[in-house]
Chains A and B, each alone.
Chain A
Amino acid sequence: MLKFILSRLLTFLPTFFGVTLISFAFIRLLPGDPITVLAGERGISAERHAELMTEFGFDQPMLIQYWDYLKGVVQGDLGQSLVTKKPVWDEFFTLFPATLELSICAIIFAVALGLPAGVIAAVNRGKFFDRLLMSSALVGYSMPIFWWALLLIIAFSGWLGWTPVSGRISLMYYFDSGTGFMLIDSLRSGQDGAFWSAVHHLILPTIVLGTIPLAVIARQTRSAMLEVLSEDYIRTARAKGLAPFRVNGVHALRNALIPVITVIGLSVGTLLAGAILTETIFSWPGIGKWMVDSIFRRDYPVVQGGLLLIAVMVMIVNLIVDMLYGFINPKIRKR
């Protein structure tokens, strides 16, 4: 097991350096030199330009520049936002809980509906329910979620007036953000209706962000269940006279869960990509919207730092999933 963990860590390190290299290269690939880029549309005098080039070390050889950048990254120094003048690192971790809260809700939504849907489809293989569920899953999988968001807004906010269109909580409520998770903070604030307002704001973004993972989980659960259901021990369990619910729900599902858990773990990248669209549409103040806004504002240090932090986060989650998978399934370790 130790050998397995070490080998995974060994492949992690070169990828980490590669990711830092890409985010390092990003600001230097933009047309014009970095100082001109950072100065933006206002322009900059030639003297000040030369001064700043030395100050930021852009006149050093590339290798030294990269080394300095790497030292900064390891110490959590990712530069400052051009717009807010705050450190990129701090901004990221202020906004991150909003994205995390939304992603957790989306995954709970996807698992709560996707698992039973996959099991029901597998047990009724080829019958009406199977076809209905799997066609819906394919529609969900093919959904342009930015359009899906607009449709839900038309239906639930426009026609029915049930849900708000943007933000995390109604402007009527104000309290300090302790944890950054609106559901927890609103409960702790003790204000009447604050929690419900937060829940209301979460409903549509959760559905939108959870739709594709829901479809993937339903399809994956179905195929994993079908594989397990043809095993001998399932036949034995049936022959012993166990109730169908026990056979399907306990014996089969437990073994079908391993590939499903992997899919859930690996959908972190999908969630973050989806968060870019979902947060932009619902004005959700998380890192997805922050990245898009920064790209439009040409706030390049933010784009550079955010890109790195998001990639490292995806890599760490994948590494953990990988190790958990090796832990659950010893066969993987041998490869």
Chain B
Amino acid sequence: MTETSETASQATDRPGPLREFWYYFRENRGAVMGLWIFVAFVLVALFADLIAPHDPTAQFRKNLLQPPFWQEGGSIAFPLGTDALGRDILSRLLHGARYSFYVGIVVVTVAASGGIVIGLIAGFAPRWLDAIIMRIMDIILAFPSLLLALVLVAILGPSLTNAMIAIAIVLQPHYVRLTRASVLSERSKDYVTAARVAGAGRLRLMFVTVLPNCLSPIIVQAALSFSTAILDAAALGFLGMGAQPPTPEWGTMLAEAREFILRAWWVVTFPGLAILVTVLAINLMGDGLRDALDPKLKRS
């Protein structure tokens, strides 16, 4: 009786997993900064309609290629200037956050859920099936990601949705490999044998017993592929194979701005800056996540 109460009090002394995670995450100042920028980015994406001063596709024909407000000829009505069709760049950027966020969420959800399920199957399957799955993943990884995405879009037709499908297919093998590797290292551990002896079915072993213990590297990968998805979608948009004009997607905006680079620096600078800041914030966060979740590095 006394023994059980002792273990119980020990259990309450140990901080919960979330609090422990936050404790280590907080130590990395860059990661916290990245988190705040990311929160701001999500808020902008959600409330773009309310924050943006103008409609992102409204054309102000009297104010073509107007510079930002601090330059001569600029006005506070268009704080970051206007593009070649007289559209307000700030409003377009704010709405662009919405597309990038959407791309990130959809691509990561599709790639991660597909990759985790396939990886779990590969980890638990008989050897021949495992070999087949992993060879298929090797085949996808043999193509440079952007090239494969481009070709897939060429088959499906250029649009933001097809770009997202292509990027999800290209990113998915990374999840399969990660999940399979951690499943293989967990599978032979005592707690899994115990669960099996206790009569847990195969599905329960896969999803309830083993999967939660494999999640750390997958979470880090999710953060990193969120930024890859945004970059690749912007690159496809830039090449004319992603979102189509007049969609205010950041990469598409850059493609439209290309011919004005020597006349109007602002139409080129701001969309790219938006991509860079968002991707940088997510990568900072990803580094912090890895430090906080990887027990090997934790106390070094």
A residues bordering B, Cβ < 8 Å? 11, 14-15, 18-19, 22, 26, 29-30, 135, 138-139, 141-144, 146-148, 150-151, 153-154, 158, 269-270, 272-273, 276-277, 280, 291-292, 295-296, 303, 307, 310-312, 314-315, 318
Contacts and interface: CB of A to CB of B under 8 A. Distances in A.
Contact of B276 (A144, A150, A269, A314): A144
B152 to A, nearest CB: 9
Interface in B119-165: 135-136, 138-139, 142-147, 150-151, 154-155
A310 B139 contact: no
B96 to A, nearest CB: 13
B147 to A, nearest CB: 6
A183 B212 CA distance: 55
Contacts of B146: 273, 276-277
Given A19-B139, A150-B254, A295 B154 contact: yes
A112 B267 CA distance: 34
A310 B143 contact: yes
Describe B's contact surface by its main secondary structure. Answer: helix
B182 interface: no
Given A19-B139, A151-B269, A154-B265, A144 B154 contact: no
Which of A11, A158, A295, A312 neighbours the largest number of chain B CB atoms within 10 Å of its CB?
A: A295
A295 B144 contact: no
A147 B151 contact: no
Contact of B239 (A19, A139, A277): A277
A314 B143 contact: yes
B291 to A, nearest CB: 12
Nearest to A300: B154
Interface of B: 30, 135-136, 138-139, 142-147, 150-151, 154-155, 227, 231, 234-235, 238-241, 251, 254, 258, 261-262, 265, 268-269, 271-272, 275-276, 279-280, 283-284, 287
Contacts of A15: 135, 138-139, 142
17 contacts: A11-B135, A15-B138, A15-B139, A15-B142, A18-B139, A144-B235, A151-B272, A154-B268, A273-B145, A276-B144, A276-B239, A277-B146, A307-B143, A307-B151, A310-B144, A315-B142, A318-B142
A320 to B, nearest CB: 14
Given A147-B276, A158-B261, A277-B238, A11 B139 contact: no
Contacts of B269: 151
B155 A150 contact: no
A273 B167 CA distance: 13
A164 to B, nearest CB: 13
A272 B135 CA distance: 22
Contacts of A314: 142-144
Given A18-B136, A147-B268, A154 B261 contact: yes
B150 A147 contact: no
Contacts of A311: 142-143
A11 B231 contact: no
A315 B227 CA distance: 26
Contacts of A154: 261-262, 265, 268
Given A19-B139, A142-B279, A273 B147 contact: yes
Contact of A269 (B145, B241, B258, B287): B145
Nearest to A138: B283
Given A144-B276, A147-B268, A276-B146, A303 B261 contact: no
Contact of A18 (B135, B147, B155, B240): B135
Contacts of A29: 155
Contacts of B280: 138-139, 142
Which 8 A-B residue pairs are closest in the complex by CB-CB distance?
A147-B272, A18-B139, A273-B144, A273-B146, A142-B280, A142-B279, A272-B144, A311-B142
